[in-house]
Structure 1
């Protein structure tokens, strides 16, 4: 199965960016870009992150690429190449691999990422897709969770909540927006929203030693959160606050830079939701008092 599938894969990858030595050798040879190497990896598993009986396998493949691209965007980096490992159920392994790769290749072409290599194996277990993504960023300028400063503006891209209605399979990694912001402003800290807006923001604040004063009314609630609320009995705000897998970005920067970003061509994708403060934790103002909010989301 492996040799014939690799021959198919080499043909399908001809239109993608290439590394010096890619699929078919013992290891890939990748010529490093100038700057610092950025690497991330994520695994998604049937029955946990998607359900093969309900979801197209191409969507699962696309998701596996997109969630790594979201991590790359959160570092302010550019993705260049990917290593793909599939652990396949023994039954219909070749067919499953082909369907998964259709989604992987779609994302690779959309975001111009080379497929440098990987591995295939079969076993008595569920489909598992693991992708390691390699990219680069100027030395010393990666966006970290730990860089937020007191009185930073806190911004979020897109709209949040209700991703389980389908967006979790086809997230839009904000790589283009990250590249535009890098040229426009100085981002102090960033994180992508994988486990929930409030939970991931709390992680950024903890890493930076700051807190946030929320303008809760400004949180951009996705229409899917409103639809989901009708089914669950929870409020749209609760879904926006705690639903995971939005794969949007949370960013902090000076207020002057935030004003510039919001007024720029990318402003329609950005919303300011608060500012950082010296008191750690998540807070909202009620009159003259700050009331503490509890972060919620998916805990691994």
Structure 2
């Protein structure tokens, strides 16, 4: 498929918004300046690692490639504005229908969250499908939430359920932008991360960067459906290590957590507490703490 034809096809499929003055079709996008600080994130998805081209729905592959970036924006408490998509496209799939289906996955999700697809690049080669997406966003008026602010005594909470994402959730999850906006608008968060590599690794990163430790209540972990059929101990380990849940894990004061728990329009689960020290532990109090050795996915 010729480059000009690709560009024209994409211009028809891709949404825009007021943050982009000039989008697809020129050498660069022209963005309208924002009065807020900007967020920029990028993720690369590779065939055989993050998806199986011959087994997975093409629209869902496009959905996931954009969704993982929107999840990163949500993890900072921000608003996603525009996306830039680069493809290394296998020659065997360099035809109009495949591109249309892939971009349908991008565009449907972008429209849902009013994100403009404002540019990118496509190259054809003999290798597997590689998708690299960059998203530009804006911080919340309160500022960005980072991994570095957890405090001793904080309650640890997660949105949604954990583990078993490989059963299909990892391809069609909803990035928690709406939940992040509710949390940012109504509560004071101390730290936050999206659970992409497994709670055992991602919460450990909050602890490491904040100079604290965490104790988790194993009975409070919210388990995704496939794990409920397993022995409880195995399910708990899977909830910590499976990865690609793309839920938000965040910390906040006890008072703020109690206020949040009183709501019924957002699914958030208390799973533990920030404590002094380093590392992760099972247990309710210092006498019963047991070290958690599960790490999660390592790149």
TM-score (norm 2): 0.94
1:282 corresponds to: 280
CA distance in 1, matches of 2:277, 2:294: 15
CA contact (8 A) 1:74 1:190 kept: yes
Please give the alpha-carbon distance, in whole angstroms, between the structure 2 residues aligned to 1:51 and 1:135.
Answer: 29
Q: Give the Cα–Cα distance (whole angstroms) in 1 for the partners of residues 31 and 138 of structure 2.
A: 12
Match in the other structure for 2:68: 67
- Post-superposition offset of 1:225: 2.1
The 8 Å contact of residues 140 and 184 in structure 2, kept in 1 or not, is answered as no
Matches within 5 A, 1:103-182: 103-138=105-140, 141-182=143-184
Q: Aligned residue for 1:194? A: 196
Uncovered stretches (5+) of structure 2, i.e. residues with no partner: none
Query: Mean alpha-carbon deviation: is it higher for 93-102 or for 216-225?
Result: 93-102
Asked if 2 retains the 8 angstrom alpha-carbon contact of 1:86 and 1:97, the reply is no
Residue correspondences, number: 295
The gaps in structure 1 that reach 5 residues or longer are none
Q: How far did 1:291 drift?
A: 1.5
Aligned-pair CA distance for 1:285: 2.5
Distance 1:260 1:167 in 2: 29
- Point out the more displaced range, 110-119 or 91-100: 91-100
Residue 176 of structure 1, CA deviation: 0.3
Structure 1 equivalent of residue 259 of structure 2 = 260
2:239 aligned residue: 240
Please, what is the CA RMSD of the aligned residues? 1.7
Distance 1:140 1:181 in 2: 11
Counterpart in the other structure of 1:297: 296
- Runs of 4+ in structure 1 off by over 3 angstroms are none
Cα 1:57–1:137, aligned 2, differ >3 Å: closer, same or farther? Answer: same
Alignment check: 8 A CA contact 2:162 2:222 kept: yes
**Structure 1 residues 117, 177: CA separation in 2 closer, same or farther (over 3 Å shift)?**
same
